[in-house]
Amino acid sequence: MRTARDIAAAVRAGQVTAAQVAERALAALAADRHVAVTRVLAERAMAEAAAVDARLARGEDPGPLAGVPYAVKDLFDVAGLPTTAGSASRTGAAPARADAAAIRRLNAAGAVLCGTLNMDEFAYGFATVNAAFGTTRNPHDTARLAGGSSGGSAAAVAAGLVPLALGSDTNGSVRVPASLCGLYGLRPARGELPLAGTFPFAESFDEIGPFAASLDDLVLAWGVLRGEAVSPSEDAPRVARLGGRFRENADPAQLAAIDMIVPGAPLVELPDIRRARSAAFVITAYEGGHLHRDALARHPMAYDPAVRDRLIAGALLPDALYEKAQAFRADYRARIEALVAGFDVLLAPSAPCAAPLIAEPQIMIDGALSPARADLGIHTQPITFTGLPVLAVPLRRPGQLPLGLQLIGKPGGEGALLRLAAELEDRGITGVTMPESVLAGEMT
């Protein structure tokens, strides 16, 4: 699959038209066999591609993403369409009046929106098992989960349908599918990227972020979304490994890679990890439940039963418990920032294992089988709690199921994440390996 940067360069050079690129992407999305796509936006995409070609014909620069096709998780507002947030209960909702802010920024940079993508209903899950739209399949093995809740976004990029996709991350919903599908993914620092026009899940934690099959493409999209380029730091980053709970329930290959990155790097143990994850559960459940409380009272049977019951439970949580969890969060973040002040990057696993089978959606946690839909985020959820920026990177594992790591930075310290990520690629520790089906298609 060609990278976003290569596509944009080819379009600007006149080697291919944006319309031709869009036609190919639309055909790929329409032929999707991974249950990643919910809507193919052919009319819109061709109009946007024609606008890019027209600007080029006038001698104008359409932008750094000129003619690059992309797709978005189905919780971003797309003007003229209902924002389903992955729920059958919203397929008849009033159409969005305007595009989400993130879509507007990508389109202003010349990108072409081609489709919307599958997700866990209302983003409540780590598996993209959706009662209305189906279960998204992992392009590396279609018998396995793609992760969630942004599984459609990850699968669309991993399958080579589009070079870029947008997802959202509340407790790991970009980082988990990036790990399971072998991609780069971003959860930015709190408030760095625009949330306007996205359907919320838990507003205390919600963030948006891109998926890409190359580090360069992710950095390019990140800069467009934030409104200014992100550059690697000049200084070598000070790196530490997260210990304690982050050394448990992880694949041995993840731990070996972490230990290889900076041999002898300090091992830092974050305090109260179990309590932090419990507090994150409380905040997520409370905010999600209260957001849906009125709709649940009117139309409870329109919800996926697995999601409905969790939202009802959240809506019944007492205010005092929520306030206690939020107070703990504020204190916890201050303690964590003080603890890691001497480091630029913290290393941790992303998802705790390779993609589980769809037919057996369970993973081993603390020696016992646990539902993948709830516990694939065991290592991402406590980091969400801190609000720190995280770059998810794929381990280089040709011929094996993907695994990923989290590179965790400081607010304003994203340059250190990029420098380390580039070094890891150069050393062959990380990097995207496309599925065999995609590679075979490129050779035919």
Tens digit of each residue's pLDDT (9 = 90 or more) over 218-238: 999 999 999 999 999 999 999
Residue 65 burial (CB count, 10 A): 28
443 within some domain:
no
pLDDT the model gives residue 336? 87
Whether residue 353 is contained in a domain is answered as yes
Percent of the chain with pLDDT over 90: 93
pTM of the model: 0.97
What CATH number corresponds to the domain at position 43?
3.90.1300.10
252 secondary structure, DSSP code: H
State the chain's mean pLDDT as an integer.
96
Whether 357 maps to a domain, the answer reads: yes
- The radius of gyration of the chain from alpha carbons, rounded to an integer in Å, stands at 20
Digit-coded pLDDT (tens) for 188-221: 999 999 999 999 999 999 999 999 999 999 999 9
Marked catalytic residue, from 149, 179, 204, 214: 149
Its domain, for residue 276, covers 239-436
> In the listed set 231, 264, 286, which residue is the last one of a domain according to the structure?
231
Domain end point (choices 211, 231, 251): 231
Residue 380 pLDDT more than 50? yes
Q: Is 148 in contact with 154 (CB distance < 8 Å)?
A: no
With bands split at pLDDT 50, 70 and 90, how would you rate the model's confidence at 412?
Answer: confident
- Domain endpoint, select from 200, 231, 262: 231
Are residues 210 and 317 both part of a single domain? no
Give how many domains the chain has, as a whole number.
2
Least confident of 97-101, 338-342, 398-402: 338-342
Let me know whether 268 and 390 are in one domain.
Answer: yes
In-domain check, residue 258:
yes
What is the rounded distance in angstroms from the CA atom of residue 22 to the CA atom of residue 16? Answer: 11
- pLDDT bucket at 252, cuts 50 / 70 / 90: very high
pLDDT in tens, 33-78: 999 999 999 999 999 999 999 999 999 999 999 999 999 999 999 9
Q: 109 in a domain, yes or no?
A: yes
48's enclosing H/E stretch is: helix 42-57
pLDDT at residue 322 is higher than 90: yes
Asked if the model's pLDDT at residue 442 lies above 70, the reply is no
Do residues 200 and 265 share a domain? no
- Same domain? 191 vs 277: no
**173 flagged as catalytic:** yes
Mean pLDDT across 343-348: 97
From 73, 153, 168, 350, the catalytic residue: 73
Q: Peptide bond before 149: cis, by omega within 30 degrees of 0?
A: yes
Among residues 378, 366, 372, 377, which one has the least CA distance to residue 306? 372
Residues 204 and 271 in one domain: no
Residue 298 burial (C-beta neighbours within 10 Å; 0-12, 13-18, 19+): exposed
> Do 346 and 209 reside in the same domain of the chain?
no
Q: Is residue 442 part of a domain?
A: no
* Domain-located, residue 153: yes
Length of the chain, in residues:
444
287 lies in the same domain as 408: yes
Look up 87 and say whether it is catalytic.
no
Does 287 lie in the same domain as 154?
A: no
**C-alpha dist (Å) from residue 219 to 65, 75, 191:** 12, 23, 18
DSSP state of 195: -
444, part of any domain: no
Q: What pLDDT is recorded for position 1?
A: 66
Distance, CA of 226 to CA of 56 (rounded, Å): 25
Residues 37 and 89 in one domain: yes
Q: Report d(CA 191, CA 194) in Å as an integer.
A: 7
| 5-39 pLDDT tens trace | 999 999 999 999 999 999 999 999 999 999 999 99
Share of the chain above pLDDT 70, in %: 99
Token pair for residue 54? 């027209």
Q: Which of 89, 168, 173, 179 is catalytic?
A: 173
Residues 263 and 310 placed together within one structural domain of the fold: yes
Q: What is the pLDDT of residue 104?
A: 98
The answer, yes or no, to whether residue 444 has pLDDT greater than 60, is no
Q: What confidence tier does 439 reach under pLDDT thresholds 50, 70, 90? A: confident
**Do 211 and 255 lie in a common domain?**
no
- Catalytic site includes residue 370: no
- Say if residue 274 is in the same domain as residue 395: yes
Listed range (34-43, 66-75, 269-278, 416-425) with the worst mean pLDDT:
269-278
